[in-house]
Amino acid sequence: MIRLAKPYISDEAIEKVAEVLRSGNLVQGEYVRKFESELEQYLDVKHAVVVSSGTAALHLSLLALNIGLDDEVIVPAFSYPATANVVEIVGAKPILVDITLDDYCIDISKIEEAITEKTKAIIPVHEFGQAADMDPILAIAKQHDLKIVEDAACALGTEYKGIKAGAFGNMGCFSFHPRKAITTGEGGVIVTNDKELSDKVRSLRNHGISIIDDKINFEYAGLNYRMTDFQAVLGIAQLNEIDTLIN
């Protein structure tokens, strides 16, 4: 059997993971925030929130945007099932739109005919690291008052007109699965330039907890989608070599 992909993990990265494991500080510590900060710089976004998977990132994004029962979300008809699954999970309906064979991304010419009064968002997928044509997607979303959640699971480092994929929509989602450009084993990140959305997904990933005046408040019905510190330190080591890995 020929493997689809094999992750590159340096000896230095393995030693960093071992150091965190030996420390006993395993969950959401200093390296989680450091990883988020480095992702913010790399992607040129204001906020990055690392989570347990790319699917978790998509799920939390829809929850943060209040997409739910009876809403419709436009997704490409060709993508990994997670893209449509998260729409189903929040109680909304995925509306499948065909792709083009030029880049395997959503066919821009077919989006508007799929929009109804129930449509709340578009999830363009940057398939196989190919950037979706974001300018017309942004124009359509603005015209119809729709949210955009970019599924950039396979596109860390992809650029569209000089801007990194994931930085165009209301929220962008990446995966750090072993088949991706960098890996934390399992893992993902949500990026956004909206502080309110950032604060909400930070809370939702950690049981709905918000810290107000040094007191814990359970503000939402949240989930446990946290990333561990040893995953984060592996991600930092991988991100430092991303240009080499992509090449």
CATH number at residue 44: 3.40.640.10
User: What sections of the chain are H helices per DSSP?
Assistant: 11-23, 30-43, 54-64, 82-89, 134-144, 195-204, 229-239, 242-246
The model's pLDDT over 160-191, given as tens digits with 9 standing for 90+, comes to 999 999 999 999 999 999 999 999 999 999 99
Q: What is the pLDDT of residue 6?
A: 83
For 141, the domain range is 11-246
The model's pLDDT over 112-132, given as tens digits with 9 standing for 90+, comes to 999 999 999 999 999 999 999
* Domain count along the chain: 1
Q: What is the pLDDT of residue 2?
A: 83
Residue 1 domain flag: no
Mean of the per-residue pLDDT values of the chain: 95
31 has pLDDT over 90: yes
The model's pLDDT over 81-124, given as tens digits with 9 standing for 90+, comes to 999 999 999 999 999 999 999 999 999 999 999 999 999 999 99
Catalytic residue among 93, 180, 195, 200: 180
Residue 6 domain flag: no
pTM score, whole prediction: 0.95
Contact between 79 and 86 under an 8 Å Cβ cutoff? The reply is no
Residue 4 domain flag: no
Residue 11's pLDDT band (boundaries 50, 70, 90)?
very high
Contact between 154 and 126 under an 8 Å Cβ cutoff? The reply is yes
Give me the residues paired with residue 99 across strands.
106
Residue 145 domain flag: yes
Q: What is the pLDDT of residue 212?
A: 81
161 as an active site residue: the answer is: no
Separation between Cα atoms, residue 166 and residue 4, nearest integer Å: 24
4 has pLDDT over 90: no
Which distant-in-sequence residues (6+ apart) come within 8 Å of 171 by Cβ? 61, 64, 65, 147, 148, 149, 150, 190, 191, 192, 194, 197, 201
Share of the chain above pLDDT 70, in %: 100
3 has pLDDT over 90: no
- Return the SS3 of 11: helix
Tokens 């809370």 locate to 203
